Amino acid sequence: MLDVLRGEPLPAEHPFWTTPGIVVLPHVGGLHPRRDAIVAGLWGDTLERFAAGEPLREVVDRVRGY
């Protein structure tokens, strides 16, 4: 997972968007006191939605670049 990149937003044509094994994250690695609980909750929600075939939240808008 990649959280901070040299050039942001990452250009739409950058290979990280389509490289297997790479996930680009929106700066969720900061030192918030509840960071781990927040990230775990978001991850769990995303997994449940994905498994159920439901729309995902917090989806990257590739047209806007973030």
In tens, the pLDDT along 36-56 reads 898 899 999 999 999 999 999
Q: What is the DSSP string of 23-48?
A: -B-SS--S--TTHHHHHHHHHHHHHH
Of the candidates 60, 61, 63, which has an alpha carbon nearest to the alpha carbon of residue 1? 60
pLDDT for 30 equals 65
Nearest-angstrom CA–CA distance, 14 and 28: 20
- Mean pLDDT for the chain overall: 85
pLDDT for 47 equals 96
Task: Quote the pTM value.
Answer: 0.49
- Burial tier of 44 (Cβ tally within 10 Å: 0-12, 13-18, 19+): exposed
Regarding predicted confidence, which is higher, 62 or 13? 13
